[in-house]
Chain A
């Protein structure tokens, strides 16, 4: 992941450009760790660095103001690390997902399932995904559907993780990314449905030949957000697949969409192509 920084003309404030959508549109300002803790995991993580006075989340940037007398030379690495950790974790920028139900409110049978899930995550799944930078933790369990918080390479292993958990715990009907628990009304519009049909009927059958798949993550205004998975994640030709294939096809086919943005964490994918290159 490549995070750029930009001066703002104000010595106390620095702009960070993570090279991907932050809010997509609009701005949200957080003036304290308490305010951030209620609404934004990303802002809360930045406040946790210390000596941060304000965090502004923008469409594709994060502005951070430090308290008077603080020194950027000691804080900048911490903010970069917080941004990196957040985006690699796959956690949402805004905490729109309902918090997991407190365990004490679970009935006895469900509590036992959740305890088994956590044990399997710790003993079987974490050792398998962590060496490659992946992370998988329990989020919530409802009506047989288990939601996991997935980060890094673990996102592309959801299917295998789900198979293992269902094998050991038959009560689990489905395993999903906790991101799916976030309300995304943009996906329930006719435009989103048309994009999904295009992905299902034309695009994904083609990219499946390379072991890849493309997911529609959200539609906000006239922008479609997609994620490349499987063999597409980290592929050196992913930009060609996106710009010359996916975007071109969507823009030509779906009225009202003017841009397609890739939110894939390509850094944690295996590039199937990289090989010699002259300097």
Chain B
């Protein structure tokens, strides 16, 4: 029986899906998390406390638990610890250097450029630089980004001198917030990139036997032109030509290779320009986050977590082919304040093709809009025969939801 270590931050949305997948597979599981399990005293080593901000110490603690077939981070929080632990255990997983580059947008851009992949102009700027001076040196439109934050948090487009200066201060303030938890270079620098025109897609892939298996290409049908880049609907398979799909696969695979990823899931955001040039925006050494993975089914009904754990356990994967169409709406936060109530959930659930409506922020919590915010209000999942039907169902369901924020 395979033995896996699952790294699950206590804040993860994906605990249930990965634990259920491990249960279906019948593999032995140890769970590593950032808080000790309440039952650590009685569960016979089935859990281990790790520090996701201290990969080496955590890796040593994991290595002391004996041999594992794989160390699996269920989302972005655990990839550094997984890589460090895998290195100690001698497992053929992504290296600490590779995952560190994936998590630092400047390092990532350097690797893309070195590999000769299409790349926007980019520039690392210290936060103590004079933004007015920097604005005179860059071309517009451009995009300012923190080096390490996820979910488009702190990503702002600037179209001119004044908007650049305003965006610079705003991004700097976001980076300085305690909850940003930006390490190293990311604590006192931001990245300025030339704006990449084009339609945006996301690739869900699995690096398997040394090559990138394309699990799904998500289309992002809502415009992502800025000034903030709030993502809403993802739908797969994207309704694109064979040539475009092949170009996406080719460039995504090249990007993963350039980064040094050798195994496991990867999530890649990219844009296809008016001339069909594929420009990679980000490559992550993890699968799609939040509850978005629930929009995907493979072969006879395998879930994304089944595919990931089967690979980790060395078990055969019956099919990489997506079954039907699926989509997710990440419910945006329409205003900052306190979430006082949500209505329309049952009506949204009753919309045909809707599989799930989950509100993941409890009533009473404070919520904050992008670019400062870092959460969605929840997720709507739909499955159907066609991407168009799925998108229509997601929009209809979302129209039923009303949020009282004050």
Q: Does A223 contact B (CB under 8 A)?
A: no
Cross-chain contact A278 with B289 (CB below 8 angstroms): yes
A278-B76 contact given A73-B352, A210-B38, A240-B8, CB 8 Å threshold: yes
Q: Does B249 contact A (CB under 8 A)?
A: no
Cross-chain contact A132 with B10 (CB below 8 angstroms): no
Cross-chain contact B47 with A240 (CB below 8 angstroms): yes
A2-B356 contact given A244-B31, A276-B374, CB 8 Å threshold: yes
Cross-chain contact A209 with B363 (CB below 8 angstroms): no
Cross-chain contact A244 with B29 (CB below 8 angstroms): yes
Q: Does B185 contact A (CB under 8 A)?
A: no
Residues of B within 8 A of A236 (CB): 10-13, 15
A202-B352 contact given A239-B19, A244-B31, A279-B292, CB 8 Å threshold: no
Cross-chain contact A84 with B289 (CB below 8 angstroms): no
- Residues 92-151 of A contacting B (Cβ, < 8 Å): 131-132
CB-based nearest A residue for B17: A239
Q: How large is the interface on A (under 10, 10 to 19, 20 to 34, 35 or more residues)?
A: 35 or more
Residues of A within 8 A of B29 (CB): 243-244
A274-B39 contact given A84-B346, A239-B20, CB 8 Å threshold: no
Residues of A within 8 A of B306 (CB): none
Among B41, B286, B341, which residue has its beta carbon within 8 angstroms of that of A206? Answer: B41
Q: Does B241 contact A (CB under 8 A)?
A: no
Chain A contact residues: helix, strand, loop or mixed: helix
Most buried by B among A207, A209, A239, A277: A277
The CA of A2 and the CA of B42, in the complex, are separated in Å by 31
Cross-chain contact B19 with A243 (CB below 8 angstroms): yes
Among B39, B46, B231, B352, which residue has its beta carbon within 8 angstroms of that of A279? Answer: B231
Q: Does A246 contact B (CB under 8 A)?
A: yes
Residues of A within 8 A of B346 (CB): 81, 84
Query: Smallest Cβ distance from A276 to chain B, in angstroms?
Result: 4
Cross-chain contact A246 with B39 (CB below 8 angstroms): yes
Q: Does B349 contact A (CB under 8 A)?
A: yes
Residues of A within 8 A of B126 (CB): none
Q: Mark A228-240, 1 if CB is under 8 A from B, else 0.
A: 0000000011111
Q: Mark B3-29, 1 if CB is under 8 A from A, else 0.
A: 000001011110110011011000001
Which residues from chain A sit less than 8 Å from chain B, CB to CB? 2-4, 73, 76-77, 80-81, 84, 131-132, 202-203, 206-207, 209-210, 212, 236-241, 243-246, 248-249, 252, 267, 270-271, 273-279
Q: What are 24 A-B pairs at a CB distance below 8 A? A: A3-B349, A76-B352, A77-B351, A202-B42, A206-B39, A206-B42, A210-B38, A239-B19, A239-B20, A243-B22, A245-B43, A249-B44, A267-B358, A271-B360, A273-B10, A275-B11, A276-B11, A277-B11, A277-B289, A278-B75, A278-B150, A278-B286, A279-B330, A279-B376
